[in-house]
Amino acid sequence: MSRPSAAHDAPRALTTLTDEESLFRQSVREFAEQQIRPLASEMDEASKFSSDLIHQFFELGLMGIAIPEEYGGQGGSFFNSIIAVEELSRADASAGVIVDVQNTLVNNAFLMWASEEQKKRYLTRLAADTVGAYALSEASSGSDAFALTTRAEDKGDHYLVNGRKLWITNGAEAGIFIVFANVAPEKGYRGITAFIVGRDFPGFTVGKKEHKLGIRASSTCELILEDCAVKKENVLGEVGRGYKIAIETLNEGRIGIGSQMVGLSQGALEYAIGYTKERRQFGKAIASFQGVQFQIAQIATELEAARLMVYNAARLKDAGEDFVKEAAMAKLFTSQVAEHVTSQAVELYGGYGYTRDYPVEKYYRDAKIGKIYEGTSNMQLQTIAKLILGDV
């Protein structure tokens, strides 16, 4: 099966990009086409992302896009991060989420909440060679994120942290973790605090890696903290302000997940278009049948709308405007669109689409997580309704 043709490489939403952003998109796309796409199926089967590719992410500056140059980053915009995630996900959604978590969650949290000393110590590493991870979820606290049971006990000059975290993206590769724990359970969510934890801290262990349906090359791991000593200088932000850090960074992270969904949808659509032009039935290409044309037109329209919702939310964020509702809407809608587009792509391939010999079944598997992580679809609906209706 041939790769998507150049004719489908430029969605019209590119008209919303500046020349500089368009050049950045093209450079990321070329890298993804040449280096990531050929390895995507192999990494999926092995459930392991190439360490060489991660090294290349750092060399190209993709792991520190919005980190200021003074800390070794690219000094780019949040929107640039979104473009990168979209283009990487077009080739492999696992690549997209690795870069997404680094930029929209971990780096953003440091940029907004870290002290100057912490920025110099950690942002420089995150820009240069160290993968980051964001550890909020637990077995008993998914959508109810603030029901976490991980505890941090004040021991004078340090905290002893005990607990377990689940579903931690980049867990296998990360060297720096933002871990949320409660220092005062009697205060409820007001005791939640964010800690900067190094992989080499005594009492900290990366546990089992999950065996997943999709984005299989991206590691999703359990973290185990047993009397893990964390110095007070490693508190991110202020004690008891972890809930605010979590809320604000996840709002931005949802735009990143939206871009991942858009990218993988674009990849699936391109393959579907190429296949319908090649596949012949009743003496002609199936793309010549109106029924097939209408299916392609429908999912292409949905994808265009999804992309523009993501871009709008990212632009609002960069402009310093309120973007919470738009981020929730983008995350909700793009996950729905991704599921529909990839499902339709599988159907357009017919029986071949259901096999792993062809690429669209992977896009279909990868799309499902969009409705689940960084806030389920029901949680996005709740946020949107609250912001529209207010107190009722």
Please, what is the end-to-end C-alpha distance for the chain in angstroms? 54
Residue 12 has pLDDT above 70, yes or no: no
Picking from 162, 152, 170, the residue whose alpha carbon sits closest to that of residue 210 is 170
- pTM of the predicted structure, to 2 decimals: 0.95
Question: What is d(CA 152, CA 187) in angstroms, rounded to the nearest whole number?
Answer: 13
Please tell me whether residues 365 and 283 are part of one structural domain. yes
Question: Within a domain: residue 200?
Answer: yes
Please tell me whether residues 261 and 378 are part of one structural domain. yes
Quick count: other Cβ atoms within 10 Å of Cβ 116?
7
Query: Which residues are CB-contacts of 51 (< 8 A; sequence separation ≥ 6)?
Result: 173
Look up the domain containing 85 and give its range: 6-131
Helix (H) or strand (E) segment spanning residue 236: strand 235-236
Contact 175/198 with Cβ under 8 angstroms?
yes
Distances (CA, A) of 312 to 28, 142, 203, 316, 360: 21, 28, 43, 6, 28
Q: What are the tokens at 150?
A: 């991980």
Question: Within a domain: residue 147?
Answer: yes
Please tell me whether residues 197 and 140 are part of one structural domain. yes
Please tell me whether residues 225 and 265 are part of one structural domain. no
Tokens 């960069």 sit on residue: 318
Please tell me whether residues 154 and 235 are part of one structural domain. yes
Please tell me whether residues 124 and 159 are part of one structural domain. no
Average pLDDT over residues 77-95: 98
Q: What is the pLDDT of residues 35-48, one digit of tens each?
A: 999 999 999 999 99
Average pLDDT over residues 378-388: 96
Please tell me whether residues 159 and 74 are part of one structural domain. no
Question: Within a domain: residue 1?
Answer: no
Structural domains in the chain (count): 3
pLDDT at 107: 98
Please tell me whether residues 144 and 160 are part of one structural domain. yes
Q: Give the CATH number of the domain where residue 108 resides.
A: 1.10.540.10
Catalytic residues: 374
Question: What is d(CA 96, CA 74) in angstroms, rounded to the nearest whole number?
Answer: 18
Q: Which three-class secondary structure state does DSSP give residue 126?
A: helix
Please tell me whether residues 310 and 376 are part of one structural domain. yes
Question: What is d(CA 82, CA 13) in angstroms, rounded to the nearest whole number?
Answer: 13
pLDDT at 53: 98
Among 87, 116, 131, the domain boundary falls at 131
Q: What is the pLDDT of residues 207-222, one digit of tens each?
A: 999 999 999 999 999 9
Q: What is the pLDDT of residues 287-310, one digit of tens each?
A: 999 999 999 999 999 999 999 999
Question: Within a domain: residue 356?
Answer: yes
Question: Within a domain: residue 161?
Answer: yes
Q: Give the CATH number of the domain where residue 172 resides.
A: 2.40.110.10
Q: What is the pLDDT of residues 343-380, one digit of tens each?
A: 999 999 999 999 999 999 999 999 999 999 999 999 99
Please tell me whether residues 251 and 322 are part of one structural domain. yes
Picking from 80, 154, 72, the residue whose alpha carbon sits closest to that of residue 110 is 72
Q: Give the CATH number of the domain where residue 357 resides.
A: 1.20.140.10
Please tell me whether residues 53 and 10 are part of one structural domain. yes
Question: Within a domain: residue 230?
Answer: yes
| Size of the chain, expressed as the number of residues it contains | 392
Q: Which three-class secondary structure state does DSSP give residue 161?
A: strand
Among 189, 207, 240, the domain boundary falls at 240
Contact 163/181 with Cβ under 8 angstroms?
yes
Q: Residue 331: which pLDDT band, with cuts at 50, 70 and 90?
A: very high
Picking from 360, 379, 366, 302, the residue whose alpha carbon sits closest to that of residue 334 is 302
Please tell me whether residues 120 and 149 are part of one structural domain. no
Distances (CA, A) of 132 to 115, 138, 166, 326: 17, 18, 15, 26
Query: Which residues are CB-contacts of 244 (< 8 A; sequence separation ≥ 6)?
Result: 237
Among 131, 164, 187, the domain boundary falls at 131
Question: Within a domain: residue 385?
Answer: yes
Helix (H) or strand (E) segment spanning residue 101: none
